[in-house]
Amino acid sequence: MLVADFAKNEMDPKIYFYSIGFILALLFALLDSNPQALALPQLLGIWLFQGLAPVSLLMFCQQWLQKIALLQQGSPWVKLLCCGIFASVLFAGPALLVDVWMGLNPHYYRWESWLEAWLTEIVAIAPMVTIGWLAANAPWLLGWRMIRAVPASVMTGNAPVTTTPFSSTAFTPPPFITTLGDHATEPPQNFGRQIALPDDDAFAGFQRQLPVDRRGHILYLKAELHYLLVVTTQGRALILSSLKDAVASLPANSGFQPHRSYWVNLAVVKKLTRQGRQGQLILYDGSKIPVSRQQLANVTELLQQRANE
C-alpha cells in the first residue's frame, strides 16, 4: 500500500523528490575526488545535472506508466521497479555524453562502439537509479506518516459533521449554497437526497489503498504527479493511483472535475466564486478548489441544476 498522510499543509511530492536529488548531488560533488581538476562550481553543476535529470525522468516515466492498464493491478513495488528501469534507459544517453565530455570514456567513432558504451552505461546506472527511486518512495510504500493528519470535517453551520468509514450504505449529503456572481440561491428542502456508494470490485480496490483510519466519504481528489491525494471526512492520504482510474471507480453522478487535476464531491460544495475568467469552489471543510476557465460554464450550470432539484 503506497500511502502518506498529510495535514492541511501537505508536502508537494515534486519538492520532496527534487530535494532528495539535490542533496545527493551536493554530497557526491563534495565527495568527488575530482581527477579532472574541475572547479567546484563546474563539478557541482555536473552532479546537479546527474542528480536532478533522473528525478525528472523518473516522475515522467511514473506518470506515463500509470496509463498502462496491465500495470494497474500489479504491486506498487513493481510499478516503481519498471519506472526505474525505463528512466535509466532514457538517462543513459545524456550520462554517457557527460562522461565523454569529462574524459571518463574515450571518444567513439563507430556506432557499434557507441551502442556498446550506451548499454554499458545502462548497466552501470540502472541499479543506482532504480534502488534510489524505490528508497525515495519506500516511506510511503511502508505507510510511514510524514505529518500527523488532522481529520477533516464537513461543516454544516457551526457544527462539524463527521461520517463513518466507507461502506455500501447510502448517505445524505449536506445542503449547500451556490454563489453565482453576486446572488446566492438556497436549495429546496428536498435537496438532501441520498447517493448510494458503489459496491463493486473497482470501488473496493480503491478503498483498500487508503489507510483504515482515513476511509470516509470522499471530499475531493487531487492529482499529485504519479500520486493521488485523497481527502475524506476522516483525513488525507496519498496513494499511487491516477486520477482517471480513481474517478472511474466512483459513481458517475457523485462528483465532477472542475479542473483537470481535481475531482470534487458535488455534495460538499458550499459555494462557487468567480475570479476573473476563472472560478473557485469553497467546500464545507474550508478547502478551495480551482475551476478552470474551460470548465467554469459547465460547473456553474451543474450547480444551478443541483440547487433546483
Quick one: pLDDT at residue 127? 92
Q: What is the mean pLDDT of the chain?
A: 72
163 has a pLDDT exceeding 70: no
Q: Residue 149: inside a domain, yes or no?
A: no
Quick one: pLDDT at residue 209? 73
Burial call 215-246: b when 16+ CB within 10 Å, e when fewer: bbbbbbbbbbbbbbbbbbbbbbbbbbbbbebb
Asked if 86 and 181 sit in the same domain, the reply is no
pLDDT-derived band of residue 62, with 50, 70 and 90 as boundaries? Answer: confident
How many structural domains is the chain composed of?
2
Last residue of a domain, one of 106, 141, 176: 141
Give 38: exposed, middle or buried? Use CB within 10 Å, 0-12, 13-18, 19+: middle
Over residues 264-296, the pLDDT tens digits come to 988 888 889 887 778 899 988 888 899 998 888
pTM for this structure? 0.53
Q: Pairing between strand 227-232 and 183-185?
A: unpaired
Quick one: pLDDT at residue 131? 93
pLDDT-derived band of residue 130, with 50, 70 and 90 as boundaries? Answer: very high
Quick one: pLDDT at residue 264? 93
Q: Residue 2: inside a domain, yes or no?
A: no
Asked if 123 and 231 sit in the same domain, the reply is no
SS3 272: strand
Last residue of a domain, one of 110, 141, 172: 141
pLDDT-derived band of residue 7, with 50, 70 and 90 as boundaries? Answer: very low
Cα–Cα distance, 166 to 198 (Å, whole number): 10
Cβ-proximal residues to 18 (8 Å cutoff; 6+ apart), any chain:
52, 55
Asked if 107 and 165 sit in the same domain, the reply is no
Cα–Cα distance, 76 to 1 (Å, whole number): 7
Over residues 190-247, the pLDDT tens digits come to 333 334 444 445 555 667 777 777 777 888 999 877 778 888 888 888 787 778 878 8
Question: With contact defined as beta carbons under 8 Å apart, do 295 and 276 qualify?
Answer: no
Cα–Cα distance, 175 to 267 (Å, whole number): 7
Q: Residue 147: inside a domain, yes or no?
A: no
If phi over 0 gives left and psi between -120 and 50 gives alpha, with beta otherwise, what is residue 155?
beta
List the domain range (segments joined by +) for residue 159.
Answer: 154-308
Asked if 187 and 115 sit in the same domain, the reply is no
Which cell goes with 79? 510499478
Asked if 86 and 232 sit in the same domain, the reply is no
Quick one: pLDDT at residue 5? 40
Quick one: pLDDT at residue 104? 62
Asked if 126 and 211 sit in the same domain, the reply is no
Terminal Cα-to-Cα distance of the chain (whole angstroms)? 40
Q: Which of 26, 121, 12, 98 is nearest to 59 (CA)?
A: 12
**Rg of the chain over CA atoms, in angstroms?**
24
Asked if 212 and 297 sit in the same domain, the reply is yes
Cα–Cα distance, 273 to 170 (Å, whole number): 29
Please, what sign has the CA dihedral across residues 239, 245, 250, 252? positive
For residue 120, which amino acid is it?
A: T
Over residues 168-179, the pLDDT tens digits come to 333 333 333 333
Quick one: pLDDT at residue 150? 41
99, containing H or E segment: helix 76-102
Q: Residue 164: inside a domain, yes or no?
A: yes
Cα–Cα distance, 73 to 175 (Å, whole number): 37
For residue 185, which amino acid is it?
A: T
Instruction: Report the 3 state secondary structure along 136-177.
Output: HHHHHHCCCCCCCCCCCCEEECCEEECCCCCCCCEECCCCCC
Cα–Cα distance, 33 to 260 (Å, whole number): 47
Question: With contact defined as beta carbons under 8 Å apart, do 183 and 155 qualify?
Answer: no
Among 63-67, 173-177, 249-253, 261-265, the least confident range: 173-177
171: domain CATH number is 2.40.50.1020
Asked if 84 and 187 sit in the same domain, the reply is no
12 has a pLDDT exceeding 80: no
Average pLDDT of span 38-65? 83
